[in-house]
Amino acid sequence: METKAAKPAAPAKVRAPKKRMTKEKRIRYFKDNSPYLLMILPAVIVVFLFNYLPIYGVLIAFQDFMPGDKILSDSTIWVGFENFERFFSDPQFWPLMKFVIGFPLPIIVSLMLNAMKGRKTAKVLQTIFNGPHFISLVVLVGMLTLFFGRYGLVNNIAAHFGGERYSYFLESSAFRPMYILSSNWQDFGWSAIIYIAALSNVDPQQHEAAILDGATRFQRVIHVDLPAIMPMVSVMLIMSIGGLMGVGYEKALLMQTDGNLAVSELISTYVYKRGLTGVPDQAYATAIGLFNSIINVVLLIIANTTSKKFSENSLW
Amino acid sequence: MSEVVLKGLKKVYDNKVTAVHDVNLEIKDKEFIVLVGPSGCGKSTTLRMVAGLEEISDGELYIDGKLVNDVPPKDRDIAMVFQNYALYPHKTVYDNLAFALKLRKEPKDVIDKKVREVAEILDITQYLKRKPKALSGGQRQRVAIGRAMVRDPKVFLMDEPLSNLDAKLRNQMRAEIIKLRSRINTTFMYVTHDQTEAMTLGDRIVIMKDGYVNQIGTPQEVFNKPVNLFVAGFIGMPVMNFFDHCQVLLENGKYYAQIRGVKFLLDDFQQKALAQNNVQPCEIVAGIRPQHVTVGEGELTAKIEVSEMMGSEYNIHARSGDDEVVMLIPTVDLTADVSMGKTINFTTRPSLIQLFDRESGNNLIWYDAESAAKDAPVCKRYDF
């Protein structure tokens, strides 16, 4: 994150040749760090077992695989990229390429909470905003039904004033707003925590200096708070973009009806259905999942490179 | 004209803690006043009340004759330099300097002219395009000062601006501030806990402790005429030597100070002042500055524990009975042997002995009850 001007005129760096650790040094290194290595060991084991070992399973994306088959055996039928080709020509391919974004809301909330005069009020509000995060998805979708179902609150009010009843769950056009807004409502407070933590590191003297300079409360948010959390915003944005294609299937499945299927079918729900329901086609589902992961990685790299170029902030 | 008048200024926090008690101070136009004292003495709080960053609980604050208790900071025509520089990290030096002027919606050419003028004065023109993180501590502090200067304020407030710098840079910046002061010629209020800064920079020094003003005076006054034990101990380096359980004697109409059994006939001025204050024979704490000690003569004795040769002078730590005595002895014409382990005789001029009441800690000669802060706690010791 250094600017060009920041670099003092230093003599050209000569990279010293990498020295290999001697055996004694390696033993001493492990002895010295043994408590820390022991502490990290369970995490390494868990990550290896549950994140790295299953990668082996992606091989079935390149096979004509049926449940019960061994992944690697003499009878394995390798089909190359056939499963991928099927997916690209699947009528579901383009409808599945859609993004769900509710990114700026937590930033705005954190800035507002931070700028509030009454610390007690801010804390109470923060607690209230965090509450919905702890509601389970099933309950949340149940609440949506109570509000937006054919006989839900919204329709009851509309009917009271002479309007027609209208089931939002059967309309494709209502699915995305309901999905996105309810997700934002559920998580904006929780997601704001990281920004509130970043804002707590802002030197209060910067605010005081801005007050003396004549900055209003809003100008202080723009000129002091927002720049202070920009590195965090960049990191979170990069991570959000990297996870754009990884929207979970649970909520979409819960909200899915035949009426909104055209938009409620996400990659994850499609993978679930093809891989685990009806006549399972696990090879095909794995190919879609793998494709999804590759897209995520590509998006992550693009977002990281762009951020590095324009804001000097990046994940790596 | 930019006078600042503090009348009975008081700060009480929500938890009922009183940080500043009844501060009365008149700062003249173009005067450089330094608020000095140990941590928690209320000096920064006083400055922040003047800046408008702290609400005034009681009392009145006048800037340029106007009551400004309820005037927002930006309208007080003041500028402040902070301890941590408080530069905007994402803005360049140029933008940091220009920020206040931009908020005032000044024309671009005026902003540019002012910024470049100030940068020229502070010798930071070559850094205008850099961001604060690319500057050294000294350069950052210059930018912070520059940011205050561009506003051309009536009053310049500085809150420990040099305390984040290393010793060498601090000396350098201190000299820069003295030069700067002669250039911009405005009223300064400067807060520090470093008495050297206070002595070298201030036209007058305000010495504070526990939220009370202990003494206001020129550097010479606070050094030579400390009103109590705290001021005597706080001002001066090395710290003044204190001899407890000494006496003021009155014999045949003449006052004597008796230190460790040795009698010193006080000079005419002291005689007069003690008589005027109606001082009766009593137990006192006697104070002698290390610079005022003469060795090789007199009846007081001390055993040298440490003797440091500093070139032009010896820095001697000796023990006289229960008291540790520090002496700064010029090497010129020194005939006595001041090596470690030796026992030496020492004395001082009686006129240089400070006499403090053991009960109140007040100087029997210089303490003025009328100008002293009311209800200030008794300061029996100089420790802080």
What are the Cα distances from residue A264, in Å, to A151, A168, A248, B249? Answer: 22, 13, 12, 101
A177 touches chain B (CB under 8 A): no
Q: How confident is the model at residue A2 (pLDDT cuts 50, 70, 90)?
A: very low
Distance from CA of B152 to the nearest CA of A (A): 12
The strand pair at B187-192 and B155-159 is best described as parallel
Tell me: pLDDT of A302 over 90.
no
Tell me: pLDDT of A16 over 80.
no
Q: Which residues contact A310 (CB under 8 A, 6 or more apart)?
A: none
Averaged pLDDT score across all residues of chain B: 90
B130 touches chain A (CB under 8 A): yes
Chain B residue closest to A231 (CA)?
A: B90
pLDDT tens digits for range B219-272: 999 999 999 999 999 999 899 999 988 999 999 999 999 999 999 999 999 999
Mutate to test the interface with B, among A1, A4, A205, A212 (most CBs of B within 10 A): A212
Own/partner pairs, A287-292, CB within 8 angstroms, 24+ separation: A287/A61, A287/A62, A287/A83, A287/A84, A287/A86, A287/A87, A288/A83, A288/A87, A289/A58, A289/A61, A290/A58, A290/A61, A291/A84, A291/A87, A292/A245, A292/A246, A292/A267, A292/A268
Q: What is the pLDDT of residue A130?
A: 87
Q: What is the pLDDT of residue A99?
A: 46
Tell me: pLDDT of B127 over 80.
yes
Q: What is the pLDDT of residue B293?
A: 93
The strand pair at B187-192 and B204-209 is best described as unpaired
Tell me: pLDDT of B371 over 80.
no
Q: How confident is the model at residue A244 (pLDDT cuts 50, 70, 90)?
A: low
pLDDT tens digits for range B4-56: 999 999 999 988 899 999 999 999 999 999 999 999 899 999 999 999 999 99
Inter-chain CB pairs, A–B, below 8 Å: 70
Contact: B131, A6; criterion CB under 8 Å: yes
Which residue segments constitute the domains of chain A, with CATH numbers given? 104-264+288-311 (1.10.3720.10)
Q: What is the pLDDT of residue A10?
A: 45
Q: Which two tokens stand for residue A44?
A: 């390494």
Q: Cα–Cα–Cα angle for B183, B77, B33, nearest 5°? A: 55
Chain B residue closest to A216 (CA)?
A: B103
Once rounded to an integer, what is the mean pLDDT over residues A41-63?
Answer: 88
What is d(CA A311, CA B280) in angstroms, rounded to the nearest whole number? 76
What is d(CA B172, CA B164) in angstroms, rounded to the nearest whole number? 13
pLDDT tens digits for range B283-310: 999 999 999 999 988 889 999 999 999 8
Q: What is the pLDDT of residue A100?
A: 41
Q: What is the pLDDT of residue A314?
A: 77
Q: What is the pLDDT of residue A115?
A: 79
Q: How confident is the model at residue B213 (pLDDT cuts 50, 70, 90)?
A: very high
A223 touches chain B (CB under 8 A): yes
B80 touches chain A (CB under 8 A): yes
Q: Are B365 and B274 in contact (CB under 8 A)?
A: yes
What is d(CA B116, CA B317) in angstroms, rounded to the nearest whole number? 52
Q: Which residues contact B366 (CB under 8 A, 6 or more apart)?
A: B225, B226, B227
A208 touches chain B (CB under 8 A): yes
Reduced to 3 states (helix: H, G, I; strand: E, B; else coil), residue A104 is: helix
Percent of chain B with pLDDT over 90: 68
Q: What is the pLDDT of residue B99?
A: 94
Which residue segments constitute the domains of chain B, with CATH numbers given? 4-224 (3.40.50.300), 231-357 (2.40.50.140)
Q: What is the pLDDT of residue A289?
A: 81
Measure CB to CB from residue A209 to each of B52, B86, B134 and give the nearest one. B86
Q: What is the pLDDT of residue A178?
A: 87
Q: What is the pLDDT of residue B49?
A: 96
Q: What pTM was computed for the model?
A: 0.76
pLDDT tens digits for range B69-78: 999 998 999 9
Nearest to B21 by CA among B40, B46, B4, B39: B46
pLDDT tens digits for range A68-121: 778 788 777 888 888 788 777 766 666 555 544 456 777 888 888 887 777 788
Q: What is the pLDDT of residue A96?
A: 57
Q: How confident is the model at residue B166 (pLDDT cuts 50, 70, 90)?
A: confident
Q: Which residue has the higher pLDDT, B327 or A18?
A: B327
Q: What is the pLDDT of residue B224?
A: 92
